[in-house]
Amino acid sequence: MQKRPFSTSRRSFLKGLAATTSGILVPRVFWAQSGPPPSRKIRLAGIGVGGKGEGDIRYAERGGNDVVAICDVDSRTLAKAAAKYPGAKAYTDFRKMLDEVKDIEAVTISTPDHMHFPAAMHAIALGKHVCVQKPLANTLWELREMHIAANKKGVITQMGNQGHTYDDNRKLREWIEAGAIGKVKEVHVWTNRPIWPQGKDAIFNTTDAPEYLDWKQWLAQTPDHAYAPNIHPFKWRGYLEWGSGAIGDMGCHLMDPIFYALDLGVPRHVEATMEDLTDTAWPRGAVVKYHWKDHAKLGDITMTWYEGKDAKGAPLLPPIPPELGENKLGPGGWIIVGSEGVILNIGDQCNKPLIFPEARRAEFLAHPPEKKYPRSPKAGEPQEEWTLAIKNGKAFDFMSKFDYAAPLTELGLIGGLAMRVGKPIEWDSAKLEVVGMPDASRFIKRAAYREGWDYSSAKI
């Protein structure tokens, strides 16, 4: 069973958080060394089976597993999936599916952000293993409740940030620990998102919902709202109620390798500047600065996140360190700045990071560090990694299980919280509150829930 994410005391919470976000300080161990998992079929269900969800259930099915039930609020998408899985029972209401199909063992959840929480909580309450797309939730309270519930039930969990399965994630940590760039001083992370409307561009053109869409089920636990094509099927990411903005969408990808390699944990101090935040939509552009004070390994360190565009329409990007020379930044990536050089990664996950200056790279890689952290047997495929763990009977330490993925998701969500508060915040993760700002609670827990959708860990 996974460890409980926190206790009632701040000291025990911080101790537990450090344990769950740390690496595996043992010699490299391959999954294959312990032998393959038992040869059996896992009975799967998919909640959200179009787009990303179609790929998620398909990857989870690999290895001879059975898809026994499928759910989607769009009857057209559901019909396509039913044609592919003719033996699966089809539903538009995941609650009914999970209650009626008793032999479901594990569930992929690939829905808009707001629906992750009720779908995961319903499945977890019934003892189902869950693989949830990133971010795990779009409110901090729901995120914490999911983490507690999963540990309470002892289910095997996974978040769909596929980059965490890559070998380069482990290599980056090994480089940092071997002193590839000396003492780490600061980090910069950027994305070209949003590529959907945010700020004043995120509007509602309400109309009747199309007949093929179960709009009430799409809204899930959120309050009633008229249907608008500006919301579904794609532009929901830009709205506060249903999405997590650019930082929620891409933070779990871009921050993951840094969070893992540096053992960052969750900081106490965050500040944000925004371009065009509204009462209903995330900003058109933002810069978020995280501060870690007296970090156990790093001392004082900052990480700055850049998203979207400024008021003049120019991309918000970090300063380019002189070590990079003529190298360009690209649409997304990250830079770790150290006392002896920098590491640049262009791309949304950790994929071919490079040490600069080149002379430092050549010197360091002439004698690269030992590969001491376990590599995933299913690099790039978190769903199949998850089903292997289920067959194995326990989560692998290298997975993006909730003990790791919940603090990582929290990192992005408190950046969004700082945007909404509009001033620097001191975040108390143990208490799930902004110190000295009780009014910020309205951004931490959803203001209202639809009747019958009141999930909590206390009820599980």
Q: Would 235 be classed as within a structural domain?
A: yes
Whether the CA torsion 247, 248, 249, 252 is positive or negative: it is: positive
Instruction: Please report the sign of the dihedral spanned by the C-alpha atoms of residue 273, residue 279, residue 282, residue 285.
Output: negative
Of 305, 340, 365, which residue is a domain's last?
Answer: 365
What letters, b where the CB count within 10 A reaches 16 and e where it falls short, cover 221-243?
bbeeeebbebbbeebbbbbbbbb
Average pLDDT for 41-69: 97
Going by C-alpha positions, the residue among 42, 46, 107 that lies closest to residue 81 is 46
Residue 17: the pLDDT is: 37
Answer yes or no: do 348 and 336 share one domain.
Answer: yes
- Say if residues 132 and 111 touch (Cβ distance below 8 Å): no
Q: Give the DSSP H/E element, type plus range, for residue 383.
A: helix 382-392
pLDDT band at 82 (very low <50, low <70, confident <90, very high): very high
Rounded Cα gap, residues 318 and 330, in angstroms: 11
pLDDT in tens, 377-397: 999 999 999 999 999 999 999
Report if residue 371 sits inside a domain: no
- DSSP class of residue 40 equals -
- Are 202 and 100 contained in the same domain? no
Quick one: pLDDT at residue 38? Answer: 57
In 3D space, the residue among 402, 85, 142 whose CA is nearest the CA of residue 71 turns out to be: 85
Do 215 and 340 belong to one domain? yes
Based on the domain organization, do 180 and 311 belong to the same domain? Answer: yes
Is the model's pLDDT at 4 over the cut of 60?
A: no
**For the chain, what is the domain count?**
2
**Domain interval for residue 54:** 23-165+377-401+438-459
pLDDT band at 26 (very low <50, low <70, confident <90, very high): very low
Burial 94-126 (b: 16+ CB within 10 A, else e): bbebbeebeebbbbbbbbbbbbbbbbbbbbbbe
| 9 inside domain | no
Residue 243 CB contacts under 8 Å (≥ 6 apart), including other chains: 112, 113, 114, 138, 236, 237, 249, 282
Task: Name the nearest CA neighbour of 112 among 138, 93, 94, 140.
Answer: 138
The domain boundary residue, chosen from 308, 340, 365: 365
Q: pLDDT tens digit string along 299-326?
A: 999 999 999 999 899 999 999 999 999 9
Q: Do residues 245 and 146 share a domain?
A: no
- CA–CA gap between residue 439 and residue 445 (Å, rounded): 11
In a domain, 6, yes or no: no
Domain annotation covers residue 430: no
Last residue of a domain, one of 341, 365, 389: 365
Task: For residue 389, give both structure tokens.
Answer: 């763990």
pLDDT mean over 156-180: 97
Same domain, 108 and 234: no
Quote the CA–CA distance of 231 and 281 in Å, as a whole number: 11
Tokens representing residue 288 in the block: 């978020």
What's the CATH number where 155 sits?
Answer: 3.40.50.720
What share of the chain has pLDDT > 90, as a percent? 90
**Is 221 among the domain residues?**
yes
Can you give the pLDDT at residue 406? 98
Hey, what amino acid is at 183? K
Which pLDDT score is estimated for 180?
98
pLDDT at 12 over 90: no
Shared-domain flag, residues 268 and 319: yes
pLDDT at 22 over 80: no
Q: Which residues pair with 305 in a beta bridge?
A: 189, 288
Cis peptide preceding 319, ω within 30 of 0: no
Render pLDDT for 199-249 as a digit per residue (tens, 0 to 9). Answer: 999 999 999 999 999 999 999 999 999 999 999 998 999 999 999 999 999
* Domain presence at residue 8: no
CA distance 360 to 235: 44
pLDDT per position as a tens digit, 114-136: 999 999 999 999 999 999 999 99
pLDDT the model gives residue 40: 86
Q: What's the pLDDT score for residue 31?
A: 46
Model confidence pLDDT, tens digit, residues 434-453: 999 999 999 999 989 999 99
Residues 343 and 389 in one domain: no
pTM (2 decimals)? 0.92
User: How big is the chain, counted in residues?
Assistant: 460
Give the Cα separation of 55 and 32 in Å (integer).
Answer: 25
Of 15-19, 63-67, 377-381, 442-446, minimum mean pLDDT range: 15-19
In a domain? residue 431? no
Judgement on whether residues 386 and 342 belong to the same structural domain of the protein: no
Q: What does the alpha-carbon distance between residue 353 and residue 163 come to, in Å, rounded to a whole number?
A: 13
pLDDT in tens, 248-282: 999 999 999 999 999 999 999 999 999 999 999 99
